[in-house]
Amino acid sequence: MPSGTSTSGQDRFRTPGEKDLPDLYRLDHEAFGEDEGYPYFFLRQLFDVHRRDFLLLEREGVLSGYALAVRSSGEEHAWLLALGVLPEFQRRGCGWALLGAAVQHVRDAGALRLNLVVRPDNESARRLYSRYGFRDGGFFEDYYGSGRDRVFMSYVMD
């Protein structure tokens, strides 16, 4: 994952270091809530296995968002496992910037399609993904367990 600044110059993207884990965990839970955020041990495992697939976004010197996009081994598709933005940075283009960087990351890794699942009631995220070009691909009841339904969406690389 390349680090650097966005074309607007206000965002800095980078991969995480071990020292970032506490802040990444806090960001994840502020963005997704205690029930939907990753447990620390699982976030740690994702970091150990997919460190190069994490993209941290710093805006105004603050870790304001992150994305985790991973190409499936031996496949031409990838999964967006997370895209979270701190509440105070939402609706300010951070999600769009992270999504664009995540798409580019998996495209560079050879993926032809990026898949994700999203809560059906997360209208702002679904609107972001749709605007970017993701298409609904089905509804999964109890995807993450009882009462945790998801909508499947997919983006085909152009």
Instruction: Write the DSSP string, 126-141.
Output: HHHHHHHT-EEEEEET
153 domain residue, yes or no: no
Look up the CATH number of the domain holding residue 65.
3.40.630.30
Distance CA 81, CA 106 (A): 12
- Judged against a pLDDT cut of 70, whether residue 56 lies above it is answered with yes
90 domain residue, yes or no: yes
Q: Summarize pLDDT for 84-101 with one digit per residue, the tens.
A: 999 999 999 999 999 999
**Host domain of residue 14:** 4-115
67 domain residue, yes or no: yes
Helix, strand, or coil here: 115?
strand
Going by pLDDT thresholds of 50, 70 and 90, the confidence category of residue 147 is: confident
DSSP secondary structure letter of residue 9: S
150 domain residue, yes or no: no
Give the total number of structural domains in the chain.
Answer: 1
What pLDDT sits at residue 88? Answer: 94
What pLDDT sits at residue 9? Answer: 61
Q: Minimal CA–CA distance to 22: which of 1, 3, 47, 5? A: 47
107 domain residue, yes or no: yes
Average pLDDT, the chain: 90
CB within 8 Å of 123: residues ≥ 6 apart: none
- Judged against a pLDDT cut of 90, whether residue 141 lies above it is answered with no
Helix, strand, or coil here: 22?
helix
11 domain residue, yes or no: yes
139 domain residue, yes or no: no
Q: Summarize pLDDT for 3-30 with one digit per residue, the tens.
A: 444 445 678 999 999 999 999 999 999 9
23 domain residue, yes or no: yes
